[in-house]
Amino acid sequence: MGIENGSIDYFMTKLGEAKTHFERALDCKHTEFDDLYPYMIEHPQFFWYKRYVAWSELLTVVKLCTELTIEWEQQFSVAQADYIKKRVMSSKVLDFWFETNDSKEHVS
């Protein structure tokens, strides 16, 4: 029993949304989470929790794609796919997700 193209498109859309949500959370930009819990902005742990929620969402969508044998890795850099496969949101993920720390853009 194969998966239909419409279903693949649906999951690829959801994967893109989860990736964007996580990246916006990393950059401390507005996400749906802010609308759900506006009072949390006042608490220092808010940004960590917001990132954790976005990371969990991303891992869930990737897990579903994997179970349905939908290729998800091409949506990410090799390093990002490796972080996702390890499943742990470490400081390395937070620091190097965008892979720009060694670029000329960050050299003074």
Helix (H, G, I), strand (E, B) or coil at 35: helix
pTM: 0.81
**Domain boundary assignment for the chain:** 2-96
The DSSP H or E segment spanning 40 is none
Amino acid at 31: T
pLDDT digits (tens), the chain, 108 positions: 457 788 999 999 999 999 999 999 998 888 887 787 777 777 777 888 889 999 999 999 999 999 999 999 999 999 999 999 999 999 899 999 998 655 444 333
End-to-end CA distance of the chain: 55
